[in-house]
Amino acid sequence: MIEFFYDIGSPYSYLASERIEALAQRASSEVWWRPFLLTGVFREVGADLGVRLGPQQRYMVRDLGRWAQRLGVTLKFPSVFPVDTADAMRILVLAPRSERASLSHLLFRALWGEGLQISDREVLGNVVGEERLAWLSDDGADLKLERITQEAIARGAFGSPSFFLGNELFFGNDRLDFLEEAVERSSAGG
Model confidence over 26-43: pLDDT tens digits?
999 999 999 999 877 778
Cα–Cα distance, 47 to 62 (Å, whole number): 22
Distance CA 124, CA 184 (A): 38
Q: What is the mean pLDDT of the chain?
A: 90
Q: What per-residue confidence (pLDDT) applies to 181?
A: 94
Residues written for the chain: 190
What pLDDT is recorded for position 51? Answer: 56
Distance CA 78, CA 86 (A): 16
Q: What is the mean pLDDT of residues 66-92?
A: 91
**pLDDT band, residue 61 (cuts 50/70/90):** confident
Read off the pLDDT of residues 67-76 as tens digits, 9 standing for 90 and up. Answer: 999 999 999 9
The answer to whether residue 56 scores a pLDDT higher than 90 is no
pLDDT band at 92 (very low <50, low <70, confident <90, very high): very high
| AA letter at 73 | V
Instruction: Tell me the three state secondary structure of residue 128.
Output: helix
Q: Angle CA(5)–CA(158)–CA(177) in degrees, nearest 5?
A: 60
Q: How far apart are the first and last CA of the chain?
A: 15
Per-residue model confidence (pLDDT) at position 103: 97
- Residue 119 contacts residue 80 (beta carbons within 8 Å): yes
The mean per-residue pLDDT over the stretch 109-124 comes to 95
**pLDDT of 109 over the 70 cut:** yes
pLDDT higher at 107 or 57: 107
Rounded distance, CA 164 to CA 155, Å? 9
- High-pLDDT (> 90) share of the chain, %: 74
Specify the pTM.
0.91
Helix (H, G, I), strand (E, B) or coil at 106: helix
| Structural domains in the chain, sorted by start | 2-187 (3.40.30.10)
Strand ranges of the sheet holding 31-35, from the earlier edge strand across to the other edge: 31-35, 2-6, 162-165, 168-171
Indicate the pLDDT class of residue 187, thresholds 50, 70 and 90. Answer: confident
